[in-house]
Amino acid sequence: MKNLPDLCLRYADPHAYPAGVAWQDGQYIPVSEAKVSVLDYGFLHSDATYDTVHVWDGAFFRLDAHIERFLAGVERLRMKLPIPAAEIREILHNCVSLSGHRKAYVEMICTRGAARDFSRDPRDAENRFLAFAVPYGSVANDEQMRRGLHVTITNTTRIPPDSVDPRIKNYHWLDLVGGLFDAFDRGGETALLLDGGGNIAEGPGFNVFSVRDGVLRTPDHGVLQGITRRTVIEICHEQGMSVHKGDLSQDALRGSDEVFITSTAGGVMPVTRIDGQPVKEDKVGPVTESIKKSYWLRHKDARFIEEVVYPA
Ligand code: PLP
Average pLDDT over the chain, rounded to whole?
95
Judging by beta carbons within 10 Å of its beta carbon (0-12, 13-18, 19+), is residue 290 exposed, middle or buried? Answer: middle
**CB 152 less than 6 A from any atom of ligand 1:** no
Rg of the chain over all Cα atoms, to the nearest angstrom: 20
Domains of the chain, earliest start first: 12-135 (3.30.470.10), 142-299 (3.20.10.10)
Q: How confident is the model at residue 1 (pLDDT cuts 50, 70, 90)?
A: very low
Q: Are 92 and 147 in contact (CB under 8 A)?
A: no
Percent of the chain with pLDDT strictly greater than 70: 95
Angle between helices 88-99 and 63-76 (to 10 degrees): 130
Of all protein residues, the one whose alpha carbon is nearest to atom 6 of ligand 1 is: 205
- The residue among 176, 31, 24, 29 whose CA lies nearest residue 110 is 24
Kindly report the pTM of this predicted structure.
0.94
**CB 224 less than 6 A from any atom of ligand 1:** yes
- Helix (H) / strand (E) element for 238: namely helix 227-238
206: CA distance to ligand 1 center in Å?
Answer: 5
User: Could you tell me the maximum CA-CA distance found in the chain, to the nearest angstrom?
Assistant: 61
Counting ligand 1 atoms within 8 A of each CB, the residue from 171, 173, 206 with the most, and so the one to mutate, is 206
Q: Are 16 and 100 in contact (CB under 8 A)?
A: no
The pLDDT value recorded for residue 18 is 84
184-229, pLDDT tens digit by residue? 999 999 999 999 999 999 999 999 999 999 999 999 999 999 999 9
> Does position 11 have pLDDT exceeding 90, yes or no?
no
Mean pLDDT value across residues 74-97: 98
Nearest atom, ligand 1, residue 231 CA: 14
Mean pLDDT value across residues 280-306: 97
Mean pLDDT value across residues 56-60: 98
303: CA distance to ligand 1 center in Å?
Answer: 22
**CB 206 less than 6 A from any atom of ligand 1:** yes
234-271, pLDDT tens digit by residue? 999 999 999 999 999 999 999 999 999 999 999 999 99
124-168, pLDDT tens digit by residue? 999 999 999 999 999 999 999 999 999 999 999 999 999 999 999
- The residue among 38, 36, 39 whose CA lies nearest residue 50 is 36
**CB 170 less than 6 A from any atom of ligand 1:** no
**CB 207 less than 6 A from any atom of ligand 1:** yes
